[in-house]
């Protein structure tokens, strides 16, 4: 069954984008498949915090956060209660996420 993912951006120069996704896909894979810039320095193995996102709606459509993921979120820039690592979030429903400003990783 298909789900909808709405990507919002802290960088207001980037327009909101809604895409279709399959259950079981990670937020990171969905972003990359739709040409959405989301860093993933460790290669999606839950070993860094660069794919950090804010889940605005649909947290119950994601698996529970692991201790390892929580440890890396603590190292992310500006973590919030809604923070997750996109590589660890396998979709099970519709969600809305905000991607933090990626310029901190792009050397701007």
Q: What is the pLDDT of residue 104?
A: 74
Helix (H, G, I), strand (E, B) or coil at 50: coil
pLDDT digits (tens, 9 = 90+) for 68-86: 999 999 999 899 999 999 9
Q: What is the pTM of this model?
A: 0.92
Question: What does the pLDDT average to over 41-49?
Answer: 94
Q: Of 101, 63, 106, 105, which is closest to residue 84 (Cα–Cα)?
A: 63
Domains of the chain: residue spans and CATH: 2-14+35-102 (3.10.20.30)
**Close Cβ partners of 37 (under 8 Å, ≥ 6 residues apart):** 31, 99, 102
Quickly tell me which residue has 């809305």 as its tokens: 96
Instruction: Give yes or no for residue 105 having a pLDDT over 80.
Output: no
Rg of the chain over Cα atoms, rounded to whole angstroms, equals 13
Q: Is the pLDDT of residue 5 over 50?
A: yes
Q: Is the pLDDT of residue 106 over 70?
A: no
| Nearest C-alpha neighbor of 40 from the set 88, 82, 93, 95 | 88
Question: What pLDDT does 108 receive?
Answer: 42
How would you classify residue 46: left for phi > 0, otherwise alpha for psi between -120 and 50, otherwise beta?
left
The answer to whether the CB of 70 falls within 8 A of the CB of 92 is no
């Amino acid at each position: 069954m298909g789900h909808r993912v709405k990507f919002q951006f802290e960088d207001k120069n980037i327009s909101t984008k809604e895409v279709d996704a399959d259950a079981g896909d990670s937020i990171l894979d969905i972003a990359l498949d739709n040409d959405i810039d989301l860093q993933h320095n460790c290669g999606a193995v839950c070993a860094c915090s660069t794919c950090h996102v804010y889940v605005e709606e649909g947290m119950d459509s994601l698996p529970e956060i692991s201790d390892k993921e929580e440890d890396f979120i603590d190292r992310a820039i500006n973590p919030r209660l809604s923070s997750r690592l996109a590589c660890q979030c396998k979709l099970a429903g519709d969600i809305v996420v905000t991607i933090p400003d990626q310029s901190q990783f792009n050397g701007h």
